């Protein structure tokens, strides 16, 4: 039976739509920066130089800007399917920060998006997992991510959850239990729910 994807209400490849999303994201969910702070503290506690970080679904560069300001010893890779989002991201970063950043345009709904990427110490997907547009794709996505992680790497997954107090579309969003099970099925270990705020949950695990 074919998967019936959930249509997106906005075209993030369109520069006007991308700019609108960027202008509203932090106003709607100002607590996003609590998650950003968790990422920066984790990265700064790693005894690695430089730390190779990949953000999946990097959007307009809010997280990139934050981590490049807070973490001195990182090489940052930003992957998004929207060049319009990358242009917004580039406009936020200083010349020095841009030197430490690599931008990739790829759609992680395809089967080949990860084929030519190196391996990383930390991979983050923040509020973008649901852009797969159906939870049935999540397990395969996690399996692709796992190939990009170094043996001691950390994978951070933050997304909205399906719950009475949170999101109501169960085709698009997963419960906390479904998130954990999908990571287990992709052979991740030490899976922890490390943070929860409003409808967003953050899971941390290892390859």
Q: Please, what is the end-to-end C-alpha distance for the chain in angstroms?
A: 31
CA distance 200 to 119: 27
What is the arithmetic mean of pLDDT over 131-138?
Answer: 95
CA distance 147 to 120: 10
Q: Is 80 exceeded by the pLDDT of residue 128?
A: yes
CB 47 within 8 A of CB 116: no
What is the arithmetic mean of pLDDT over 10-34?
Answer: 83
**47: DSSP letter:** -
Work out the mean pLDDT of the chain and round it to a whole number.
94
In this prediction, residue 46 has a pLDDT band, given cuts at 50, 70 and 90, of very high
Q: Is 90 exceeded by the pLDDT of residue 191?
A: yes
Q: What is the predicted pLDDT for the residue at 23?
A: 82
Q: Is 80 exceeded by the pLDDT of residue 21?
A: yes
CATH topology of domain 15-19+48-206: Rossmann fold (3.40.50)
Q: Is 80 exceeded by the pLDDT of residue 30?
A: no
CA distance 37 to 43: 10
Q: What is the predicted pLDDT for the residue at 18?
A: 86
Q: Where are the domains of the chain?
A: 15-19+48-206
């Amino acid at each position: 039976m074919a998967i019936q994807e959930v249509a997106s209400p906005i075209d993030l490849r369109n520069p006007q739509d991308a700019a609108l999303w960027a202008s509203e994201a932090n106003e709607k969910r100002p607590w996003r920066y609590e998650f950003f702070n968790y990422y920066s503290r984790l990265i700064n506690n790693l005894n690695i130089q430089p730390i190779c970080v990949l953000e999946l679904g990097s959007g307009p560069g809010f997280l990139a800007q934050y981590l490049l300001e807070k973490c001195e010893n990182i090489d940052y890779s930003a992957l998004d399917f929207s060049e319009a989002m990358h242009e917004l991201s580039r406009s936020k970063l200083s010349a020095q920060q841009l030197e430490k950043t690599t931008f990739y345009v790829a759609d992680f709904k395809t089967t080949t998006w990860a084929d030519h990427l190196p391996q990383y110490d930390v991979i983050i997907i923040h509020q973008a997992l649901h852009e797969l547009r159906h939870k049935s794709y999540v397990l395969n996505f996690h399996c692709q991510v796992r190939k990009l992680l170094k043996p001691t790497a950390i994978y951070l997954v933050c997304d909205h959850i399906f719950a009475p107090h949170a999101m109501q579309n169960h085709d698009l969003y997963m419960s906390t239990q479904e998130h954990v099970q999908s990571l287990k099925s992709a052979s991740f270990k030490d899976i922890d729910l490390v943070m929860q705020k409003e409808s967003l949950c953050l899971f941390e695990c290892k390859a």
